[in-house]
Amino acid sequence: HFASKFHGAARALSGSVVYVSDELDHHDFELLKKLVFPNGSILKARCAGGPTRDYLFIDPVMNGKNLLKIWNLNKFSSMIGAFNYQGARIWPLKEGAENTLRSTFKPLTITGYISPVDIDSIMDIAGEIWTGDCTIYAFNSGSLSKLPKEGKIQVLLSTLECEVFIISPVKVTVYNSHYFAPIRLIDMYNSGGAIQGLLCSQRPSGCKIQIKTRGCG
């Protein structure tokens, strides 16, 4: 399907199960590996995915200028998906939208911004030793950034392109000498969903960080 990666990323953010409706011998196994473990289990987010507050009252499909942003939570990280529906064949752009072409398909490149403040419940996963900073890992580009809570990064997407960001609060040890932010399986859309437990034992001489995970890598 021409939009299979688009739909796969959306499914990873949905907090729901993964359905596969491909015909026999037409499966995209490289895509499925980003969603499903070999034993058939998935990295399911904690909640039902929802739109970010800054995009609640905009039209992410037909106004020709906005992305759709969806957020969700894991146990120790969060995730945001940015999707560009604008100019897709299924929905024509509204009258007056820039670069409107009714008879042919023309991709539109849309600019948006991703920020830790887009996650409504980020304090639920940040814990007591949160610095206010976050690491942001972009799945498709492979980029890794560190931002303050109010910071933001730019994302540019063409029609039917998407990006999935794992946002992990940076934690600091009591003695302010070690900083860390777990990300985990970077070859799966919801990489942070693999982290099941996190324990930090601290003393003046150093600290020990133990992470319980699913999957390998």
Domain that residue 174 falls in: 4-213
CATH, residue 94: 2.60.40.1180
Quote the number of domains for the chain. 1
Strand partners, 166: 79, 137
pLDDT by residue for the chain (217 residues), tens only, comes to 677 888 899 999 998 888 877 777 778 888 888 898 888 888 999 999 999 999 898 888 888 899 999 999 999 999 999 999 887 765 556 655 544 444 455 788 999 999 999 998 898 888 777 878 999 999 999 999 999 999 999 999 999 999 999 999 988 765 666 778 888 788 899 988 888 888 877 777 777 788 888 876 4
